[in-house]
Amino acid sequence: MREHVNDPFVQRAKAEGWRSRAAFKLLEMAERDRLLAAGMTVVDLGAAPGGWSQVAAGRVGKGGRVLALDLLEMAPLDGVDFIRGDFREEAVLVPLAARLAGRPADLVISDMAPNLSGIAVSDQARAMHLAELALEFALAHLKPGGNFLVKVFQGAGFDAFRKAMAAAFAKVLARKPEASRGRSKEVYLLGLGLRPRQRPE
């Protein structure tokens, strides 16, 4: 708790009005890799409390769309259309498809992580499973040439997951933003340029 309270990114987030310190991770990566632009359609998986959605909405502007999904409730954000529920279920996918209105996403982002049990093997497996689900979602909802940014943890399953992304995207890059705590095994994989053949019929 002391580390969190004294964290400079936590303090900056409060001072600058961001929902969470995670906003700075996306800000850095979006700037470096030019991920967000006016008019884009962005889907944010596991969005609560809304730090990433907040950044995305500010960058895509009124001409763009940000669709945020989470199992948890999320306080409303200007420019963000929130759907509560499991993104694997029809009860969420149907309203999502309706809101996309036939327009696939330009960018899918996921900062999801499991609730940690403290059992390293189990936590790693659950984290990789979430990343795999996010990739599956991205392949179904991204436009050809679209991009996918996902949080993963280095360990078992990481190399196989990166290979799966490399098969789906023209380029895959690893990113460790400054706001990511140094002792954390988290890393972000960025898939650039979805190969057209990867989208299901």
The whole-angstrom separation of Cα 151 and Cα 103 is 25
Catalytic residue among 62, 143, 151, 171: 151
The whole-angstrom separation of Cα 67 and Cα 78 is 12
Q: Name every residue whose Cβ is closer than 8 Å to that of residue 39 and which is 6 or more positions away in sequence.
A: 60, 61, 63, 64
Q: Which alpha helices (DSSP H) does the chain contain, by range?
A: 2-6, 8-16, 22-33, 51-60, 90-100, 120-141, 158-168
Helix (H, G, I), strand (E, B) or coil at 133: helix
Q: Name every residue whose Cβ is closer than 8 Å to that of residue 63 and which is 6 or more positions away in sequence.
A: 38, 39
Among the listed residues 10, 56, 11, 65, the one whose alpha carbon sits nearest the alpha carbon of residue 31: 56
Distance between start and end Cα atoms, the chain: 48
User: Token pair for residue 17?
Assistant: 């009005």
Active site residue 151: yes
Distances in Å between the Cα of 79 and the Cα atoms of 4, 47, 67, 93, 195 are 29, 14, 9, 20, 29
Q: Could you list the active site residues?
A: 151
